[in-house]
Amino acid sequence: MHIHFIQHEVFEAPGAYLHWAEKRQHKITFSHVYRHDHLPKEIDSIDFLIVMGGPQSPDSSQTEYHYFDAKSEIALIRQCIIAGKAVVGVCLGAQLIGEALAAPYAHSPEKEIGVFPITLTTEGMKDIKIADFGNKLQVGHWHNDMPGLTDESKILAHSAGCPRQIVRYANLVYGFQCHMEFTPEVVSLLIDSETDLPLQSRTHQFVQSADEIQGYDYEEMNSKLHVFLDLLESAYVETLIKPASACS
C-alpha cells in the first residue's frame, strides 16, 4: 500500500496514523505543505490519502498562510475520491473532504481542546470499521470548526461540544474531526503552538489545561484507530479485487 500524507504544520503531526503505516510496512510519502512541498501531480500509485489538521480553515487565504492552497488540496481530494482511493481527513482535513464534495464546513458549537468522550450514533454502531470503538471512547480534540455534510453522508459519532465528530462520506471516505492520532509527542507540539492555552482552559468548558492533556494515556485511542485503518485497508483491497473477479 502507498500512503500519502498531507501535513499542514510541523505541530499537526500524523502520530498514530504514521505509526500504523510504518508497522504495516507500507510505502509512505508526504506533502509537507509548511515546507512548500508540492502536492502529488498524479495519483495512480496512491492507495490512501490522509489529510491532516491545521490552524487554517478551508476558506483561509494564501495571504494568511502563504503555503496553504486550499483550492488545490480540495481538487486533489476530489480527484482521489473519484478514483476510488481511500481518503481520511483529520480536523481541517475532514473539513476539506466536505468542501471537495460541495459540503461547506461550519463552526462547531464549542471549542474543544484536550481529551473528551465521543459517542457513536446508531449509524456509527452499524459501521463495521468503527464499531470496535464501543458506545463511548475518549479521544483527542483541538478545534473550533467541523466538517460539512452531504445528502449521502452519515454522522457516526458526536461529542458534548461538537455534533460532527466522525463522518462517513462514502465506503472509503471518512472525516475525523477528533484526533485519535494523538501521542505524548504530538500533544507536546500542539501545546507549544497554543500561546493562550491557560486562559482558554479557564474560559471554555471543553478546553483542558496542559497538565491534563499531557497526563493522558493515548494508547487505547491509537489502537482503536489502527483497527479502523486495517478495516479500511481491507475494504479498499476488496474494491481492487472485485473488478478482476467479475472478469474471471
**Tell me, what DSSP letter sits at residue 35?**
G
**CATH 3.90.550.10 correct for 2-247:** no
Say if residues 113 and 207 touch (Cβ distance below 8 Å). yes
Kindly report the average pLDDT of the chain as a whole number. Answer: 96
Is 5 a residue whose pLDDT tops 50?
yes
The Cα 43–Cα 85 span in angstroms is 9
pLDDT at 28: 98
Q: Name beta bridge partners: 3.
A: 28, 48
Is 160 a residue whose pLDDT tops 80?
yes
The Cα 105–Cα 82 span in angstroms is 20
pLDDT at 243: 60
Is residue 245 very low, low, confident or very high in pLDDT (cuts 50, 70, 90)? very low
Is residue 31 very low, low, confident or very high in pLDDT (cuts 50, 70, 90)? very high
Say if residues 206 and 141 touch (Cβ distance below 8 Å). yes
pLDDT at 198: 92
Is 42 a residue whose pLDDT tops 70?
yes
For 63-121, what is each residue's pLDDT tens digit?
A: 999 999 999 999 999 999 999 999 999 999 999 999 999 999 999 999 999 999 999 99
Cell of 55: 490552524
The Cα 99–Cα 150 span in angstroms is 10
The Cα 77–Cα 45 span in angstroms is 15
Say if residues 11 and 183 touch (Cβ distance below 8 Å). no
pLDDT at 195: 85
Class of residue 244 by CB neighbours under 10 A (exposed 0-12, middle 13-18, buried 19+): exposed
SS3 106: strand
Is 246 a residue whose pLDDT tops 90?
no
Is 22 a residue whose pLDDT tops 50?
yes
Cell of 64: 494568511
Is 149 a residue whose pLDDT tops 70?
yes
Domain locations along the chain: 2-247
Look up residue 99 and give its amino acid.
Answer: E
For 192-244, what is each residue's pLDDT tens digit?
A: 999 899 999 999 999 999 999 999 999 999 999 999 999 999 999 999 997 64
pLDDT at 183: 98
Enter the pTM of the model: 0.96
